[in-house]
Amino acid sequence: MTNAADLQAAATVRFGEGPAISAEGLDGAARDGLHRLIDRRSCRDYAERAVPEGLVSLLIAAGLSAPTKSDLQQADVVWVRDRALRAELMTDVPGADWIAKAPVFLVVCGNGARFASLFEGRDFVNNHFDALFNAIGDAAIVLEGIVAAAAIAGLGTCPISQIRNRAREVSRLLDLPDRVFPFAGVCLGHPAHEASVSPRLDLGMTVHQDRYDTDAFQRLAPGYDTRRNVAKPFARQRAAERFGTDPDYGWREDKRRQYSTPERADFGAYLRDLGFAFD
């Protein structure tokens, strides 16, 4: 049974030393559930153990029970059960070997088609960026709902954003109509072993009181790099042949290098071709 000290310990591993975590007034089931969420780990190595179909449906239902903007319900889930189809979806995707071994693979989609279809034969006067933004938000919330539900159920997950690397081809393979787009894939199954926790930015950088603290990131980020390198050091330095090696390599340098090369720069054009506007 999880107690308040367990929750505090999990939060400290995740976020470093920060505000005290309180479990006052929570029963054991609530504390257990919250502990599983704070202690959640990305899973890339799955046991050869099937996940019951009914449990997968339950997790999807939990994700789709999440809040949705103005009750528009602009998200869908494609359960990719055909292994050959999954292999086609993952062509040229890094990590495709372990993705192929996951017992379950889902693709969460943003859907701007259902709502727009209500205006067939009439002008859809809200065809601007907010309509797309709402669909993106709904898809993100549903994805996180599935991930959280799986964590509570004791299953491992790993979202796959690389599904958007070949968005047009993925759309074709999944028969996605106009105004429906792949947001992310997600692998799901029983972990083969316990993975390590990925430390997150200190709460002092991401949680603000009353007004945004513009200096928080610059002030606290070096300490986060140090803490992360102790808990979960990078196995390699990204693009060392291009950038060289850095004795103080950490999260900030890794992200700088990652985004020093254009990534999915054609995604906006793909969404425009689906019928979304960006005004």
pLDDT digit string, tens, across residues 139-158: 999 999 999 999 999 999 99
Q: Is the pTM of this model over 0.85?
A: yes
Q: Give the closest residue to 7 by CA, choosing from 27, 30, 28, 34.
A: 34
**Which of 176-192 are b and which e, b meaning 16 or more Cβ less than 10 Å from the residue's Cβ?**
beebbbbbbbbbbbebe
**Residue 74 contacts residue 134 (beta carbons within 8 Å):** yes
Domains and CATH numbers, the chain: 41-195+263-273 (3.40.109.10), 203-258 (no CATH)
Question: What local confidence, expressed as pLDDT, does residue 120 receive?
Answer: 83
pLDDT band at 49 (very low <50, low <70, confident <90, very high): very high
pLDDT tens readout for residues 148-189: 999 999 999 999 999 999 999 999 999 999 999 999 999 999
Residue 233 has a CB neighbour count (10 Å cut-off) of 9
Write out pLDDT tens, residues 15-24.
Answer: 998 878 888 9
Average of per-residue pLDDT across 191-201: 95
Is 248 in contact with 237 (CB distance < 8 Å)?
A: no
